Amino acid sequence: MKKVVLLGAGNVAWSLANAIDSLDGYSLIQIYGLRIERAQEIAQESGRATATDDLSKINTSADIYIIALKDEAIASVADMIQYNGDALWVHTSGSVPMSAISRLSPRHGVLYPLQTFSRGRQVDISEATIFTEGSDPITEKEIAGLARALTPHVMHADSMSRSRLHAAAVFACNFTNHLWTISADVLSKSDIPFSVMKPLIEETFKKAIQNGPEAGQTGPARRGDIATIRKHLEIVGPDYAPIYKLISQNIIDYYIPDEPNRL
């Protein structure tokens, strides 16, 4: 049985604690959280783990330490921890280099689950891909072993690849979500609920996954339909017209580079 200490009590930590608790061969023994109530919540749900908000009380007998803190806190918390063992230490961030936690143990690395986590909302981590990096091949194998207990989808990714993954996820999810907010805002002017878009988005998404998004591009910009684009620029108004214009021009440049009209 591998003993696991989890540092962090936010969305990622909550979701990982849930997933690790249901694994054979791994046992969560302690949760560290800056806010003790949140750490206690996770510890109580887990049942066997204790909670602390004191870095000097981190249990030093664990086999694996998982730092699931906010990106900007990882390096500074790692610098405050007194630890002299050689257990495995990993962080879970897409945008923090592995070196940020190298002083903690010779055996360190990254276990980055590509998923968006919300506290209180169970997501199936076994559908996500986990990207791993290790300080040496044996350590990486051990990290990949833990990752494979959580999901069949495990890939190696160094710091550069993780940065690309993170930037790609911002486009695919964060920006996409904001475009949905804009869409909902435009619809609200006619009292139409955003839910009318659901089947349309689902179908667009299915096609993007089946054939790749490039093959499924449609719409006024893809057709070079400048008249409709100009009409839409008026309809969406000054808050959103610059985004409409820039993405449309990018689509035109991508698919019909010899289109003479510019927006």
Residue list 207-246, contact with a copy of itself (CB under 8 A): 207-209, 212-214, 216-222, 225, 228, 231-232, 235-236, 239-240, 242-244, 246
Residue 64 CA to residue 209 CA, distance in Å, equals 35
Please say which residue, 16 or 43, places its beta carbon nearer to a copy of itself: 16
Of 84-123, binders to a copy of itself (CB under 8 A) are 95, 114-116, 118, 121, 123
Of 12-71, binders to a copy of itself (CB under 8 A) are 71
Nearest distance from C-beta of residue 125 to a copy of itself, angstroms:
9
Which stretch in 20-28, 33-41, 140-148, 204-212 sits in contact with a copy of itself by CB under 8 A? 204-212
Nearest distance from C-beta of residue 26 to a copy of itself, angstroms:
22
Nearest distance from C-beta of residue 146 to a copy of itself, angstroms:
19
Residue 32 CA to residue 227 CA, distance in Å, equals 58
Count of residues of this chain found to bind a copy of itself when the rule CB under 8 A is applied: 86
Residue 247 CA to residue 237 CA, distance in Å, equals 15
Backbone angles phi, psi at 63, to 5 degrees: -95, -30
Please say which residue, 36 or 128, places its beta carbon nearer to a copy of itself: 128
Of 179-198, binders to a copy of itself (CB under 8 A) are 179-184, 186-187, 189-190, 192, 194-198
For residue 200, state whether it binds a copy of itself (rule: CB under 8 A).
yes
Angle 238-243-245 from CA coordinates, rounded to 5°: 90
Q: How many CB atoms lie within 10 A of CB 218?
A: 9
Nearest distance from C-beta of residue 30 to a copy of itself, angstroms:
28
Please say which residue, 86 or 127, places its beta carbon nearer to a copy of itself: 127
204: Cβ–Cβ under 8 A, 6 or more apart, which residues? 216
> Is the CB of residue 22 less than 8 Å from the CB of residue 150?
no
Please say which residue, 36 or 226, places its beta carbon nearer to a copy of itself: 226
> Is the CB of residue 59 less than 8 Å from the CB of residue 66?
no
Residue 115 CA to residue 12 CA, distance in Å, equals 9
Helices (H), 84-170: 137-150, 159-169
CA separation (Å) from 32 to 39, 55, 251? Answer: 6, 7, 47
Please say which residue, 85 or 216, places its beta carbon nearer to a copy of itself: 216
Please say which residue, 27 or 95, places its beta carbon nearer to a copy of itself: 95
Considering only 22, 99, 177, 261, the residue that binds a copy of itself (CB under 8 A) is 177
Of 123-162, binders to a copy of itself (CB under 8 A) are 123-124, 127-129, 153, 155, 157, 160-161
183: Cβ–Cβ under 8 A, 6 or more apart, which residues? 194, 197
Kindly state the greatest CA–CA separation across the chain. 68
Please say which residue, 27 or 115, places its beta carbon nearer to a copy of itself: 115
> Is the CB of residue 137 less than 8 Å from the CB of residue 112?
no
